[in-house]
């Protein structure tokens, strides 16, 4: 079933979500390298900016995602709502994480834990997104 947010019959949302996913995973890796590794400020800085980039990318990816979700019905719409709810929770966790970093919280404390929880939720959300595509054929043009 085709979805409306597409370019040349290619859905936009799956193209855009790779950026926040990659940035957030890299941010978590940088946090781990900072906390468990050398404590070099490079890892702290990279984690900070990739977290911000992930937030920006997620907000941009949400626009075609919501457009596509509004076009669904039945079971795919229920899955899309769960997928969206998880993504909203992930964005909130990262926004709180960013706020804690601005106030000088130790990365080894809550910010690292929030990143770990967000990555776990991100895994579930990504699985749901793939389930919608591969099982329910959302955003797939049948020939």
Measure the CA–CA gap between 8 and 68, rounded to whole angstroms.
Answer: 15
DSSP states of 73-107: -HHHHHHHHHHHHHHHHHHHHHHHHHHHHHTT--T
User: Cβ(61)–Cβ(129) under 8 Å?
Assistant: no
The answer to whether the predicted template modeling score (pTM) of the entire model surpasses 0.85 is: yes
DSSP tag of 142: -
Q: Write the pLDDT tens digit of every residue in 20-58.
A: 999 999 999 999 999 998 778 999 999 999 999 999 999
Q: Grade residue 139 by pLDDT with cuts at 50, 70 and 90.
A: confident
């Amino acid at each position: 079933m085709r979805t409306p947010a597409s370019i040349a019959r290619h859905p936009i949302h799956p193209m855009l979500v790779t950026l926040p996913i990659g940035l957030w995973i890299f941010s978590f890796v940088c946090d781990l390298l900072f906390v468990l590794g050398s404590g070099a400020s490079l890892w702290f800085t990279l984690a900070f900016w990739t977290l911000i980039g992930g937030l920006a990318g997620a907000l941009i990816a949400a626009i075609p995602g919501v457009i596509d979700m509004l076009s669904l019905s039945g079971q795919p719409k229920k899955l899309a709502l769960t997928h969206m709810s998880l993504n909203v929770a992930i964005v909130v966790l990262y926004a709180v994480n960013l706020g804690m970093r601005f106030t000088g919280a130790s990365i080894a404390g809550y910010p690292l834990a929030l990143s770990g929880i967000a990555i776990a939720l991100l895994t579930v959300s990504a699985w749901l997104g793939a389930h919608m595509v591969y099982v329910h054929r959302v955003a797939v043009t049948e020939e």
